[in-house]
A and B are shown apart, each in its own frame.
Chain A
Amino acid sequence: MLRPRDIRRHSRGSHFIVQNTPLLLAVILLIATLLFYVGLFFTSLGRFPGNFEITSTINGAMPLILSATGQTVVFLSRGIDLSVGGMVDLTNSLAATRMGDNPISMALWSFVILLVGAAGGLINGLLVTLGRLQPILVTLATLSIFQGIAIKVLPQPGGKVPVAYTAFLTNPEHPWALVFVMLFIFLWFIFRRTPFGVAVYAIGNDEEAARANGIHVTRTRVGAYVVGGILAAAAGLFLAATTTSGDATAGDSYTLTSIAAAFLGGTTIFGGRGSALGSIAGALVLSIIISVLFFAGINQLYEAFYQGMFLVVAVALSMLLGRFFGRKRR
């Protein structure tokens, strides 16, 4: 006869480890990369990276952090958003051409641009749910559409972003970037506890069960794409602020890097698992690698090689570790 205490239970600690292996791995990876970065920085310049370096690194990573988090929310709902790059292109071009010099028009346009992101996400979401199309195909097509509109808005690289805007969003003199990241993490914890956040995780884990529990699956899924679009738009704004000008193709790479960052952070494509924290760590890792390579004196052309290597090794490792812990559990 089975008595309750015969059922093996995990201590809270080991349960946490089993549940969060990928996230822990991402954090460990981030710490390792950081140490490596600081070490190389110290040996080549003879001092530790100061506020300026840290802030500008985070500033540079900000678009990736935002777009990767957007990608994460879509992943959680068991989707994928390939149009992220096009949305970053479009919003980046809009920011570089439309923003006036006075604060009111800046704020207004920032808001409009976020709305554009939401609208793009809404189109993706509606086509996926009501159109019953595969997410990968829908967003592939909208990627092309967004890229086209971006080129229409800004045919040649150029335009300019007001200095005040750059100073506000990405000022390397003051640690605003850290504040933004903290604020963002705080917002994530709120999101995680809202009914919508819970619903996104629920449909990612088991759509039928979620529906049976009264979750509006269609609305939640569309919502996930809308959030993804808004965050991609925010990434475009930050990109414009850091580069101080616009380029209708500058955002293209974010499609693949946002996916890579989300994966590095332990979010799976099968939905329901992962968090923004992991993606933020993943995005930082991918960005810091570039600085590490720079200080290590490795040719920039090999950049993609190391990013790819990191991605494959990290995911393979987390899979193997997950299997290891999973077996131990039984």
Chain B
Amino acid sequence: MLLFIIGAIVRPSFIAPNSVKSVLVVASFVGFVATGQAFVILIGGIDLSVPWVLNASAILLVTSSLGQDDRAIQAVLLCLGLGLLVGLINGLGIVFLSVPAVVMTLGVNGIMQGLTLGLSKGFTCRSCSANSPPVVSSAVGGNLLGIPADLYIWFGIVLLVTFVLGFTSFGRKVYAVGNNTRASYLAGVNVNFVTVALYMLSGLFAAFTGIALVGYSGSPSLGIGDPYLFQSIAAVVIGGVSILGGRGNYLGVVAGSISLVALISVLQIMNIPDYGRSILYGVVVILILLLYGREERET
């Protein structure tokens, strides 16, 4: 993984602090989504509802705050609540209706997409001051000691998640459920609770990314979340988390997000046209997987 980052930095003009910073900021958005995705993948699930939860949250932020600072806190809480609610629905459907995670989250993604498009009438509400509240913007886009504030947030999340997964009983339960659901149930882990909680976390992080993206770019757009589905899954898996659950750590996911975004920006810097970037992106992901992601022979 390190090799890969170094390889990326070797490109001239890539080492400039500004470009490193912007790569890191872009990577942080992937990192936020990937955090939630990593949680559910750790228990062998998957969350395909990420794109439109993110998008719904982004649009909800501006429509509920109307770009005013004094409404910012309520709006942010509303968005995070939305993420938690969608995660709750996902989790309950998967646990109590025993709908496969792929189907449940895919369906919920469609539901969120329809609701978002329908309720916003397909516009991003350009007429009604569709800007993020300045407070949110400065919280995400501002600088502190020359480092974007957004990166502090990410750093905080990294510390928190590493702590939770590594040093709390909840973290241990997550790995236990991921490794063997039945055994952990018999060992007294409340599997249903853990599963629902993790999907709620995934929804929360997706909604949070929506807020951060709007804060960073100033205004939302439809389809803003679409690239984050595949990128978040790819980042998690490149980061060494087993898609079957139970193995992997969060720092790997952080490295995965950074290297993925670094790869994309290197391809951009090298002036490779769109199609070439898309092809190379796929090829490189396969190569990385062949190097790192192979399953051990089981038989």
| Residues in chain A within 8 A of chain B (CB atoms) | 80, 127, 131-134, 136-138, 140-145, 147-152, 155, 208, 256, 259-260, 263, 268-270, 299, 301-312, 315-316, 319-320, 323
Contact = CB atoms under 8 A, between A and B. Distances in A.
A54 to B, nearest CB: 26
Given A138-B286, A302-B114, A305-B118, A315 B279 contact: no
A93 B249 CA distance: 41
Identify whether the interface residues of A are mostly helix, strand, loop, or mixed.
Answer: helix
Given A148-B278, A315-B107, A306 B286 contact: no
Contact of B103 (A263, A302, A305): A263
Interface of B: 46, 48, 93, 97-100, 102-104, 106-115, 117-118, 121-122, 230, 233-234, 237, 243-244, 274-283, 285-286, 289-290, 293-295, 297, 299
9 contacts: A137-B285, A138-B286, A141-B281, A148-B281, A152-B275, A152-B279, A263-B100, A301-B114, A305-B114
A132 B290 CA distance: 8
Which has the most chain A C-beta neighbours within 10 Å: B98, B237, B274, B282?
Answer: B282
Contact of B282 (A133, A142, A152, A304): A142
A151 B98 contact: no
Contacts of B110: 260, 304-305, 307-309, 311
Contact of A305 (B111, B233, B283, B293): B111
A143 to B, nearest CB: 7
A251 to B, nearest CB: 14
Nearest to A252: B226
Contact of B102 (A269, A304, A310): A269
B295 A144 contact: no
Given A148-B278, A301-B114, A319-B97, A132 B295 contact: yes
Contacts of A136: 46, 233, 243
A133 B293 contact: yes
Contacts of A142: 282, 286
Nearest to B97: A316
A184 B170 CA distance: 51
A148 B114 contact: no
A321 to B, nearest CB: 12
A311 B118 contact: no
A311 B114 contact: no
Contacts of A301: 114, 117-118, 121-122
Contact of A140 (B283, B285, B297): B285
A20 B233 CA distance: 34
Given A268-B100, A303-B114, A137 B278 contact: no
A259 B106 contact: yes
Which has the most chain A C-beta neighbours within 10 Å: B46, B97, B244?
Answer: B97
Contacts of B113: 304-305, 308
Contacts of A80: 102
Contacts of A147: 278
Given A137-B237, A141-B282, A144-B285, A312 B290 contact: no
A149 B230 CA distance: 18
B99 A319 contact: yes
A181 to B, nearest CB: 25
Nearest to B294: A132
Contacts of A152: 275-276, 279
Contacts of B277: 148
Contacts of A149: 275, 279
A131 B290 contact: yes
A270 B103 CA distance: 12
Given A145-B283, A311-B107, A133 B117 contact: no
Which has the most chain A C-beta neighbours within 10 Å: B114, B281, B285?
Answer: B114
B118 A302 contact: yes
Contact of A308 (B108, B282, B299): B108
A316 B93 CA distance: 8
A140 B234 contact: yes
A136 B277 CA distance: 21
Contacts of B294: 131-133
B100 A315 contact: yes
A148 B285 contact: no
Nearest to B238: A137
A312 B103 contact: yes
A311 B100 contact: no
B237 to A, nearest CB: 6
A207 to B, nearest CB: 9
B290 A133 contact: yes
Contacts of B99: 312, 315-316, 319
Contacts of A303: 114
A35 to B, nearest CB: 23
